[in-house]
Chain A
Amino acid sequence: MAPTTHTDKAYEAELRAIRDRLLEMGGLVEQAIAASVRAMTERDTDLAEQVKLRDRDINRMEVDVDAMCRRVLALRQPAASDLRFVTTALKIVTDLERMGDLAVNIAERALDLSQAAVLAPMHDLAKLADLSEAQLKKALDAFVTADVSKAEQVMQGDDLLDALYLKIFNDLLGLMMEDSRNIRRATSVMFAAKHLERFGDHATNLAEMVVYMVRGTDVRHPRSRAPGTAEPER
């Protein structure tokens, strides 16, 4: 079926602008998380400071996207797919802003650790970072192309992240028990790992909203549904 655009070109442009802004924001978040982890593994304090500074751009975009969405709701009374798109945008922007904050948190761990010698599970941490970044990228792709199966892959991929986080956690625990002089650095790395795991969770939230946007069914919290209510159709 040939894609159709809104007869009102100004309206079409307003919706497109929201989409573009969100993607721009997503791009900044991808850069931020990659930079923050590199700052940690390469002990690059300048890079860590840059991540913190650039977070202001991400925050500003959250305010922008919210304002743009509110404007469309007030002036256009969007319906059907447009309504789902705008309400999804309102939610996604919050997840993206939090993900930006998590990158800042990791950058702060990097600053903290830059003074000390490198601790062992760093390569696992880099792997966790790669996975989390990939989750965000895939979720954003799913959003752009309205691809439900891609979104579902993100939702299913979260288990792998959780498993890797658990491994890192246990390895760090081991190091702490081995030698109490490791504790300070180990806890910093543990926080960073936790931030990455949370980052992955937000990517999953994003993917769930994409499913809603495309299909019109809300697939969040399947285990929390009231007894007797139907499991949403995927």
Chain B
Amino acid sequence: MRPDPSAIGAVAADPKMETRHLVVSYGGKSAVKDVSLRLPGNQVTAFIGPSGCGKSTFLRALNRMNELIPSAETEGEVLLDGEQVNAGRFDAVELRRRVGMVFQKSNPFPKSIFENVAYGLRVGGTRDRAELAERVERSLVSAALWEEVKDRLQESALGLSGGQQQRLCIARALAVEPEVLLMDEPASALDPIATAKIEDLIHELKARYTIVIVTHNMQQAARVSDQTAFFYMGELVEVGVTEQIFTNPVERRTEDYVTGKFG
């Protein structure tokens, strides 16, 4: 029996996050058009699609990062654990703690490795040194970086390799104990070995977090994700179990994209 493609989000009756009729436009030009999508908890969902298809804009809508862009306008609902988070009264800062983000170009602070991870905790009010040390260690362990940096925590983060910096950024995001991790092309600036480490890390992290990853690398989406959503020109064309998207997609446009018939 062919799996029902619309059932992907419905597999989780209670998705961790969900959007309903989400629309995002920049200065009147729509970048995301009426997207309703469910993100199951403790799974990896990948967004694929050609440049300009709206996948990064949609990702940013999940933790209201688009609000930092003046011309951006958002309509529709974004829900976390069934609660709408993009209505005025929900605290955007609190949202971004619970729904963390990692970017394509890693952006460690020009501080020590320790301070990079501790920063969010200090801002959140944690002062106790022992607690900070413990939580920093835990985050670095979770990001599979601890062994490599444990003896040089006071050194500058900028001295780390690209792959290490990216894992540091992940540790930084994990330090504030999020529930969801949004990753925008997290490995596109990394070499194959560093990429493999990030992908392995993602696999481990999904046991404790819900992960959403935007990638222009289809094979990466195929390797790391449980379900894949294909975006094209602002629309959600198809979403399904990753294996199905890559062996027998329903939509012709999806088929054409994954087989390289676009352009």
Contacts and interface: CB of A to CB of B under 8 A. Distances in A.
A208 B38 CA distance: 36
B261 A6 contact: yes
A62 to B, nearest CB: 25
B124 interface: no
Contact of B262 (A7, A80, A82, A233): A7
A5 to B, nearest CB: 7
Interface in A173-195: none
B247 A80 contact: yes
A27 interface: no
A77 B217 CA distance: 12
Interface residues of B, number: 20
Chain A residues touching B, majority SS = loop
A84 interface: yes
Contacts of B2: 216-217, 233
Given A4-B256, A6-B259, A84 B248 contact: yes
B103 interface: no
Nearest to B256: A4
Contacts of B247: 79-80, 83-84, 216
B246 A83 contact: yes
B40 interface: no
Nearest to A231: B1
A77 B1 contact: no
Contacts of A233: 1-2
B129 interface: no
A82 B259 contact: yes
Contact of A7 (B1, B258, B263): B263
Contacts of B260: 6-8, 11
Contact of B259 (A1, A81, A217, A230): A81
Contacts of A83: 246-247
A227 interface: no
A94 to B, nearest CB: 21
A233 to B, nearest CB: 6
A1 B252 contact: yes
Given A4-B261, A6-B260, A232-B1, A81 B255 contact: yes
Interface in A198-234: 215-217, 230, 232-233
A78 interface: yes
B218 interface: yes
Interface in B206-263: 218-219, 222, 245-249, 252, 254-256, 258-263
Interface in A1-59: 1, 4-8, 11
B259 A78 contact: yes
A23 B247 CA distance: 24
A11 B260 CA distance: 9
B261 A80 contact: no
Interface string B1-22: 1100000000000000000000
A80 B258 contact: yes
B258 A230 contact: no
Nearest to A11: B260
A45 to B, nearest CB: 50
Contacts of B252: 1
A79 B246 contact: yes
16 contacts: A4-B256, A4-B261, A7-B263, A79-B222, A79-B246, A79-B258, A80-B258, A80-B259, A81-B259, A82-B259, A83-B246, A216-B2, A216-B247, A232-B1, A233-B1, A233-B2
The 5 closest A-B pairs by CB, nearest first: A216-B248, A230-B1, A4-B261, A79-B258, A7-B263
